[in-house]
Amino acid sequence: MEVTFNQISPVIWEVAKGTKDFMNVPARIFASEDMLSLVMRDRTLVQLINVTSLPGIISYAMVMPDAHEGYGFPIGAVAATDMSDGVISPGGIGYDINCGIRLLKSNLSYDDIKDRIDELAKEIYKYVPSGVGKCGRVQLSNVEMDKVLNKGCNWADSERYTEENDLRYIESGGSLDSADASAVSRNAVDRGRDQLGTMGAGNHFVEVNRVQKIFDEEAARAYGLKENQVVIQIHTGSRGLGHQVATDYIKQMISLAPQYGITLPDRELSCVPISSPEGQSYFAAMSAAANFAWTNRQLITWEIREAWRNVFGKSSGKLSLLYDVAHNIAKIEEHTVMGEKRKVLVHRKGATRAFPAGHPEVTPEYRNIGQPVLIPGSMGTSSYVLAGLKGSMVHSFGSTCHGAGRLMSRTAARKQIRGDELKNELNEKGINIQTGSLKGLAEEAPAAYKNVESVVDVVEKAGIAKKIVKLKPIAVIKG
């Protein structure tokens, strides 16, 4: 696809509205000049331009520097639609609703645990069910499932799967009031009832890290981070339940779109008006799946805390929650558009909130610094904790990237990389690997992903988030 890129800033590029007849707004790409060609390697740019056709889309559709091809929307995309005449599109959230990242902080340093990393990794692997089809320890009735879907982490709190103040450090407190379990199909409920507290497969993981470098001392102190500290990342989402919710509503919306007079360049962008009964039903079901995902990460946190205590004892202190961010979700937010404050529906697919200092939705303890943004690198490389900046509210509807972003497909990675060799390479680098699938390990090799350093540099140069600390992996637990 041949297009002209207009340079808005050193790291923001725009495809003009008139490039395709169906475009309602321009398309924007956050990327360095060296990275710009990567959106042409697959269908990322085509999909981004298609997103601009959505009825009621505001300002522009955009992708972050970690963008790659997805279903409907590219992964790494952000788009806001008007609440009165705009649409909601399941393809703008994705199949793994509220896939997200959580980071736990320990009181121990790398030196405290370096001789027991293998023991810790094996204990976490034992406690956190991982892999395709693995069941969790919690088996829920329909009544209890409805409570999880409607209340999210408030249910986990009532069942004592939390520790003091956990909910304060979860986006939206781990519970969306817009959730309605009755909008979720029985098939979706059945797929999820035994999956709470499970990681799944693919790019999901639990990773033990140490703080390798601090870029901003003040912000690091506010976040409770210090050099060489041991922290743990959790990356997973709504499992089979969220996938089924997406499947149910995408199928419905493909047939409904023409009835609402909606014509799209790609049926994968299937959507309906937000204000329609079907739009409201999907939003309620998506919110319920998001609640399920937050609860899932909360139960995994509970499991990791048990494993941690088993290895290091009660005297090792607590694993406290730094933050938990969603990166596949749509949320109603207030943004300034053309000088006017408006409520809009922000679709984020492979993108996270990056609200700046002073924003009312930033946890009070972090409000002078900005919202923590958790950016995992590819397995075996660095991860980052960022802080949201004011530029995010100007340029990206309060959003930033969510990770490194794939460079090659899983099939291509399996053809080029051997899982056993990769495991040995990572072990030689001091990274302990616990996995049930060497094939799955190969799919997630560092070579299959973009350079996370370059991705983070772009969002910092764009003024939407800044680097606070850099994390180095010491153990990776996968399905």
* Residues known to be catalytic: 402
Structure tokens, 322: 């730094």
Q: Is the dihedral of CA 135, 138, 140, 146 positive or negative?
A: negative
DSSP for 278-324, please give it: HHHHHHHHHHHHHHHHHHHHHHHHHHHHHHHHHHH-GGG---EEEEE
CA neighbor of 414 nearest in space, from 444, 384, 454: 444
- Residue 134 per-residue DSSP state: -
Q: How many CB atoms lie under 10 A from the CB of residue 378?
A: 23
Grouping H, G, I as helix, E, B as strand and the rest as coil, residue 189 is helix
Question: Which residues, 6+ apart, have CB-to-CB distance to 251 below 8 Å?
Answer: none
Distance CA 271, CA 254 (A): 7
CA–CA gap between residue 236 and residue 245 (Å, rounded): 16
The label of the residue with tokens 């088993």 reads 310
Cβ contact 15:30 at 8 Å: no
Tokens of 200: 């799944």
Phi, psi of 126 (to 5 degrees): -70, -35
